[in-house]
Amino acid sequence: MKFDLSGKKAVVTGGSNGIGKAISNTLKSQGAEVFILDLNENQSHKKAGIQTIITDISQWSQINSSLTSIPNTVDILINNAGIGFVGNIEQTEEADFDRLYQVNVKGVFNCVKAILPRMKKKGGVIINMASIVSHVAVKERLGYTMTKGAVFAMTNAIAKDYLSYGIRCNSISPARVHTPFVDDYLKKNYLEKEREMFEKLSKTQPIGRMAEPQEVADMVLYLCSDEASFITGTDFPIDGGFIKLNGN
């Protein structure tokens, strides 16, 4: 079977909702044993045999203590957890900047540092969730852009450092993805104009729509599989043409 993950142990951060939920379910469906690191548990995962470990990835002490619930050998780490923020540099307060760094950058650092010793024994795969803003400027995304640029660069450094251990490290750069976060954002900021704004945001992708979480999950599945064994140190945009085709 193509993309078979039978016998693999996978850790997914932020795996309870949105893109992370799709990733967790997809890896599970292909035979992996999945462990989620998240602040919340999705009850459907408990029924599906996916274990959720409640932890804050921005806190090294919490990540360290949570390792007792994770197998001694890990084959796959998906650094999906992250938070967003809208604002230019004048609209971004120090507390906003620090929180973005703590979750989106330090969180990735903490999880890789914690899991790597369990991966070095027989190799493995690390996938970091970057963003289109790692490549191109998007208006009023200063803090978020900083964090995703760091994730993009960190991916290359990890890939280079751990080649000899058989560890592949890649990143994925989504454009807008239709998740509950998007729906909540529109409801909060554009009450009674949600549909109009949804269509407007959808059309910022040249392909004319947002991505679905499953489309990101399918890319993750490919990169985790043996079919992608020759790929490392590479970023994969899932952007409906946003990076290359906007303005052309």
Task: State the catalytic residues.
Answer: 144
Q: How far apart are CA 134 and CA 153, in angstroms?
A: 9
- Other Cβ atoms closer than 10 A to 12: 31
Q: How far apart are CA 67 and CA 180, in angstroms?
A: 29
Residues in contact with 226: Cβ distance below 8 Å, sequence separation at least 6, in sequence order: 4
Question: 111: closest CA among 80, 132, 134, 83?
Answer: 80
Q: How far apart are CA 233 and CA 229, in angstroms?
A: 12
SS3 for 22?
A: helix
Strand partners for 9: 33
Strand partners for 127: 78, 170
SS3 for 62?
A: helix
Question: 24: closest CA among 2, 50, 63, 47?
Answer: 50
Residue with tokens 């390792």, as numbered in its chain: 67
Question: 81: closest CA among 98, 62, 56, 60?
Answer: 56
What six digits make up the tokens of 64?
């360290």
